[in-house]
Amino acid sequence: MTKKAQHDASMRAQNHSPGATRMERDTMGELAVPASAYYGVQTARAVENFPISDLRFPRSFIKATGLIKHAAAKVNAALGLLDQKIAEAILTASREVIDGCWDHEFPVDIFQTGSGTSTNMNANEVIANRATELLGGARGSKLVHPNDHVNLGQSSNDVIPTAIHVAAIDGIEHQLVPALSRLQRALAGKAQEFETIVKIGRTHLQDATPVRLGQEFGGYARQIALGLERARHAQCVMSEVALGGTAVGTGLNAHPEFAGRVLTLIAQEIGCPFQEATNHFEAQSTQDSLVEASDALRTLAVSLMKIANDVRWLGSGPRCGLGEIVLPETQPGSSIMPGKVNPVIAESVTMVAAQVIGNDVTMTVGGQAGNFELLVMLPVMAYNLLQSIELLANAANNFSARCIEGIKADEERCRTFIEQSLAMCTGLAPEIGYDAAAKLAKEAYRTGKTVREIARAQKVLPEDRLTALLDPWRMTEPGGPVGSAGG
């Protein structure tokens, strides 16, 4: 909070006793509003009407809404539609909203009017009352009017979807992309570090032919690289926004240059491009772009779930599991078993993935709620999409820092498992045939010996050829004798 805002907050505390109210009027009549509040009568009605949950719009959405109001005031002043002094006061007040000074003044529940009108008016009232105060007026006096001045050229029906897009693109750009980039680098680094370590592969949770540990981690790195591409594509599909369509998509009461100019200013702030919707009826009656963006996040969550679960399995043990990798120890794992350490970071990632997958279901349902000229599940879609972005960013960062970057390989355990694996017989199949190789594997399993030992005892191939075909490194590369590779 700025020094001026802190001073003003202090003055408010001195001038308003706890429980004091002021009376405000809207088109439905009078209602008492807390005297110290910057929000006004429409926000107070919404607080009364929607006592549903403790869920509120996140900081990212409030910031985006403030950005729209700030840019709108600047553009409306430049177009000669807004008095310069009023515009300057709105600019100062909306900048404080952008900076997070008044987040506590946004008390409206997520489960409200499907257009988000209550929250748009919440922003209009906070900015109008703060601007009024800056001009020397009393809160509630409407010296700066929430509709006529702050909401000039706008409707909740184009502001709220635009704010969702702006907040989501901002979150992807400055939270999710950096986090995924770090995770991708960490996984790629481990792929290189573990490139020479050969281990047993597994399909159906059963032994399969050898792979290099680096190859496994290279697969994980590629998953995240593709996730980054999907996140970037999500930004692209959300870059067309509804602003300028006003109530139903016709643009009534908005200057023809308003939306384009506002979006130019927002793009400069965020560092990402935005453009007015090609078709405003599509932009306001649907939110297919948000559904598509959520799908990209769900896919990323699925990738993280796979990687986190593999890490848990590969690090299981430490003595009676797979134990091919050693995970960083982060905290005691049991309240009853001394010395136990659990893969808690990976587990937290799987729970984030589950939440994001669930959020996507709500996004899908919300995307079907377009009735004629307006989609009416915008608040819950905003909450879920922005939560998914934040959760995935935080989880990816934490996964990198507290798990992936500190993973070590147990090379000896990897070597031991390879020699014991019955799948080693696959390397012999092209020369001795599938059935003969299977017979060797079954005999090795029955006797507790290795495939190499049984093959050597039965003299199925000369020693030098046997050594070449059962070389684990050779099995991790394409080529070699042609034949069935199993499944």
Tens-digit pLDDT profile for residues 249-282: 999 999 999 999 999 999 999 999 999 999 999 9
Q: Rounded mean pLDDT of 292-321? A: 97
pTM of full prediction above 0.75:
yes
Q: What are the domain boundaries of the chain?
A: 3-152, 159-238+285-411, 421-475
pLDDT of residue 455: 93
53 is catalytic: no
pLDDT tens per residue, range 381-417: 999 999 999 999 999 999 999 999 999 999 999 999 9
Which residue is catalytic, options 334, 348, 421, 484? 334
204 is catalytic: yes
pLDDT tens per residue, range 28-73: 999 999 999 999 999 999 999 999 999 999 999 999 999 999 999 9
pLDDT of residue 38: 98
pLDDT of residue 19: 84
HEC letters along the chain? CCHHHHHHHHHHHHHCCCCCEEEEEECCEEEEEECCCCCCHHHHHHHHHCCCCCCECCHHHHHHHHHHHHHHHHHHHHCCCCCHHHHHHHHHHHHHHHCCCCHHHCCCECCCCCCCHHHHHHHHHHHHHHHHHHCCCCCCCCCCCHHHHHCCCCCHHHHHHHHHHHHHHHHHHHHHHHHHHHHHHHHHHHHHHCCCCEEEEEECCEEEEEEEHHHHHHHHHHHHHHHHHHHHHHHHHHCEECCCCCCCCCCCCCCCCHHHHHHHHHHHHHCCCCEECCCHHHHHHCCHHHHHHHHHHHHHHHHHHHHHHHHHHHCCCCCCCCCCEECCCCCCCCCCCCCCCCCHHHHHHHHHHHHHHHHHHHHHHHHCCEECCEECCHHHHHHHHHHHHHHHHHHHHHHHHHCHHHCEECHHHHHHHHHHCHHHHHHCHHHHCHHHHHHHHHHHHHHCCCHHHHHHHHCCCCHHHHHHHCCHHHHCCCCCCCCCCCC
**For residue 5, pLDDT beyond 80:** no
Q: How sure is the predictor about 3, in pLDDT bands with cuts at 50, 70 and 90?
A: very low
Q: Rounded mean pLDDT of 332-349? A: 94
Q: How sure is the predictor about 18, in pLDDT bands with cuts at 50, 70 and 90?
A: confident
Q: CATH fold of 3-152, please?
A: Fumarase C; Chain B, domain 1 (1.10.275)
pLDDT of residue 480: 62
**For residue 8, pLDDT beyond 90:** no
Q: Rounded mean pLDDT of 85-92? A: 98
The architecture that CATH gives domain 421-475 is Orthogonal Bundle (1.10)
Torsion of CA 90, 133, 135, 87, to 10 degrees: 10
Q: How sure is the predictor about 10, in pLDDT bands with cuts at 50, 70 and 90?
A: very low
Residue 334, burial from CB neighbour count under 10 angstroms (0-12, 13-18, 19+): exposed
pLDDT of residue 16: 60
pLDDT of residue 485: 55
pLDDT of residue 308: 98
CA–chain centroid gap for 352, Å, is 10
Give the mean pLDDT of the chain.
95
CATH class of 159-238+285-411: mainly alpha
CB atoms closer than 10 angstroms to residue 7 = 11
Which residue is catalytic, options 141, 204, 280, 303? 204
Q: Does the bond joining 318 to the residue before it have cis omega, within 30 degrees of 0?
A: yes
pLDDT tens per residue, range 423-473: 999 999 999 999 999 999 999 999 999 999 999 999 999 999 999 999 999
pLDDT of residue 481: 62
**For residue 13, pLDDT beyond 60:** no
Instruction: Give the whole-angstrom CA distance, residue 141 versus residue 414.
Output: 75
| Closest to 328 in 3D by CA, of 343, 314, 349, 306 | 343
pLDDT tens per residue, range 214-252: 999 999 999 999 999 999 999 999 999 999 999 999 999
